[in-house]
Amino acid sequence: MILFLMDQTDETYMELALGAAVKAGRRGEVPVGACVVGPDGNVLAVASNSPIADSDPTAHAEILALRQAAAKLGNYRLTGCSVYTTIEPCVMCAGALLNARIGRLVYGAADDRFGAVESRFRLCDDSSLNHTIELVSGVLEERCSALMSGFFEELRAKRRKPSD
């Protein structure tokens, strides 16, 4: 595994992903946001989770951001691009990152239940695959984690509340 130290730029891009995650949460979606940045540092896409609104199980923030960035560049290969996401990607999203040939993945909080980058599986740096991704974890981790925890605490509280 290649692990790079975060820098101020990582935090700046993660702020964009966090903003998208907050928007998702306000819409009742799981609050995950993602941002794709080109090799030149330009932001290519920012997206938030929307599987409920889109009735699409693949409408995770990372997938939507990859689609937008690929359309903007006119290429399904996003070689040299970086993805910033508030939560460790799931198996589907990690696979999409690999297929897009993302160069670097930066994520905020680990996902002990579904994380496919470091927590449950190690897809992005598996040397048996034909591509690996440079990894940085823990960027604005406390804020990313608190956003997720708060969302699910509120959801559980609503479910416990007796109907009027």
62 catalytically annotated = yes
Sign (positive or negative) of CA dihedral 20, 26, 29, 30: positive
Helices 91-99, 61-73: inter-axial angle, 10-degree rounding: 20
Q: Which of 29, 62, 88, 118 is catalytic?
A: 62
Please count the residues of the chain: 164
Helices 8-26, 141-160: inter-axial angle, 10-degree rounding: 10
Surface-to-core class of residue 7, CB atoms within 10 Å of its CB (0-12 exposed, 13-18 middle, 19+ buried): exposed
Positions annotated as catalytic residues are 62
